[in-house]
Amino acid sequence: MKLVVLFLVALTVYVDSFPDDDYTWTHHDAEALKRVLDETARECPDITRVYSPGKSVKNVDLWTIEITDNPGVHEPGEPEFKYVGNMHGNEVVGREILLILIPYLCKEYNKGTPTIVELVDNTRIHIMPTMNPDGYAIALEEFLKTGSNSWTVGRQNANNVDLNRNFPDMDKKFFKLQKMHSKINNHITMTMQEIGHLLQKETQVILNWMTEYPFVLSANLHGGDIVANYPFDASKDGRPHYQKCADDAVFIELSKAYSQAHATMSDPGRKKCDMTEESFDDGITNGADWYPVPGGKEKMLTTVQ
């Protein structure tokens, strides 16, 4: 737990030392994104591995970088963690944050920063800056043409599908079996057999990725309100209310570790999101209590992990 909290906190505090005042903030297209990963791998070859777990609808690699002391190897007892950004193509903040976090981990490891050395040496970290490169390209094209971006253009993938509604609804199956007092524990397989919609290529990549690597925790970075959202992400009756999972206390602790290290997330006096009047105690929320999301990525990860 200590290492996971360290990693979550690292994402919110690294800006104190990196990037410096000379850093130029800019959008990274597909080529620039890959260049950040490759340059980091060249600077820190002993702790990095760049790979692609699969491709998008338009055949673009979902480039990922692994950062650990023994890249390419699963070490028994060492937790595997993943960050995913840009699931919605026009939500770019997470993408850009991860593209700063990646070289930060490399540089601080080389400097011998104790917390980062401990983190990298004892955690296998996987970072995918974009899950939806096709949607990002669509949003970027509109921005370059018009100078602005509507909140729907580029949100979906190239097939116009919202990837955060495309995953198997594991919560629904879990709630059903719970109601039946069933002791059957193969609901993952059962749900995969009962999917009533076509899985997008990007969704399938993530599912295969989760099968290949035994992730113990994941964070998915969206744009929008400033809040740490934790499971369950759906409720039994489909209406907004608190729906806690078995690890509720753990997820609350992890969410607070993130929000309280953030500059404004846990500040009750911060400016609210333009699209909501809601405020969140300590800068965190149970997903189902905020608004239920059928077929979201979070519920798949919660049930599997």
Residue 114 in this model has a pLDDT that exceeds 80 = yes
66 CB-near residues (< 8 Å, 6+ apart): 48, 49, 50, 51, 72, 124, 125, 126
Neighbours of 182 (CB within 10 A): 10
What span, in angstroms and rounded, lies between the C-alpha atoms of 67 and 125? 5
Q: What is the model's pLDDT at position 198?
A: 81
Q: Which of 127-136, 179-188, 255-264, 277-286 has the lowest mean pLDDT?
A: 179-188
pLDDT, tens digit, for every residue of 157-201?
999 999 998 888 777 777 777 777 776 665 566 666 666 568 999
Q: Which of 96-105, 118-127, 164-173 has the lowest mean pLDDT?
A: 164-173
Residue 295 in this model has a pLDDT that exceeds 80 = no
What span, in angstroms and rounded, lies between the C-alpha atoms of 253 and 3? 13
Is the link from the previous residue into 232 a cis peptide, with omega within 30 of 0? yes
Q: With bands split at pLDDT 50, 70 and 90, how would you rate the model's confidence at 232? A: confident
What span, in angstroms and rounded, lies between the C-alpha atoms of 120 and 204? 28
**Residue with the two structure tokens 């100078």:** 147
Q: What is the model's pLDDT at position 262?
A: 87
Q: With bands split at pLDDT 50, 70 and 90, how would you rate the model's confidence at 21? A: low
Parallel, antiparallel, or unpaired: how do β-strands 80-85 and 215-221 relate?
A: parallel
Cα-Cα end-to-end distance for the chain: 15
Q: Which of 18-27, 60-69, 143-152, 252-261 has the lowest mean pLDDT?
A: 18-27
Higher-pLDDT residue of 99, 303: 99
Give the pair of three-digit tokens for residue 80: 């595997």
Average pLDDT over residues 145-149: 88
Residue 235 in this model has a pLDDT that exceeds 90 = no
What percent of the chain shows pLDDT beyond 70?
82
Average pLDDT over residues 138-150: 91
Residue 5 in this model has a pLDDT that exceeds 70 = no
Average pLDDT over residues 29-44: 97
Q: What is the model's pLDDT at position 52?
A: 98
**Beta-bridge mates of residue 82:** 126, 218
Length of the chain measured in residues: 305
Average pLDDT for the chain: 85
Higher-pLDDT residue of 173, 66: 66
Q: Residue 263 phi/psi, 5° resolution?
A: -60, -35
Average pLDDT over residues 222-244: 88
